[in-house]
Each structure stands twice: as structure tokens, then as C-alpha cells.
Amino acid sequence: MLETSLWLATGLLALAVLLGLMRIVTARDAATRALVGDLVFFSGVGILAVQGYLNRSAVTIDLVLIAAVIGILSTIALSRILTRGRR
């Protein structure tokens, strides 16, 4: 049952990635594209995390943690760029 739910979660995250990529194409401003880009990135990280759990891979989980930290830092940097440093 758990394995089935994890495969379902992988499918839903993959659907989120596909819908996000479609939204990036139709977005009108940079802020929307940045936000959807974060959604796509973190959905990809989620897929990697679920697959790492399914395969019992410690290396994959370590990569997920590193990717999450890098993703958060890039989100902060991009938001500073978009707001031109205003707080």
C-alpha cells in the first residue's frame, strides 16, 4: 500500500512539473515565471526524494537535501533581483 501511494505521489509531482512548464510558457511577467520555476524545481526535488525512498538510496536523500538548500538560496537571490534589492 505504501509503495502504491509513493508511485501515485511521483505521478502527481510529475503532473505538477508538466503543468508548471506549460504555465512558464504562458506567463506574462518575470515574477510569475520565477514562482512557477520554483514550483517545477521543488516538484523535481520531490520526485527525486520519493524515488530515493523507494530505492532505499541514502545518496539520493543527501542530494535532495543539498538541492533543497540550493533551491531556497536561489529563490531568495531571484526575489532580490526581481525587487531590485528593495525590502
What pLDDT tens digit does each residue of the chain (87 aa) get? 888 999 999 999 999 999 999 999 998 888 888 889 899 999 999 999 999 999 999 899 999 999 999 999 988 888 888 888 676
The whole-angstrom separation of Cα 12 and Cα 10 is 6
For 33, the grid coordinates are 515565471
Does residue 87 belong to any structural domain of this protein? Answer: no
For 34, the grid coordinates are 520565477
Does residue 54 belong to any structural domain of this protein? Answer: yes
The answer to whether 27 and 36 have CB atoms below 8 angstroms apart is yes
Q: What is the pLDDT of residue 86?
A: 72
CATH number at residue 14: 1.10.287
Specify the number of domains making up the chain.
Answer: 1
pTM of the shown model: 0.84
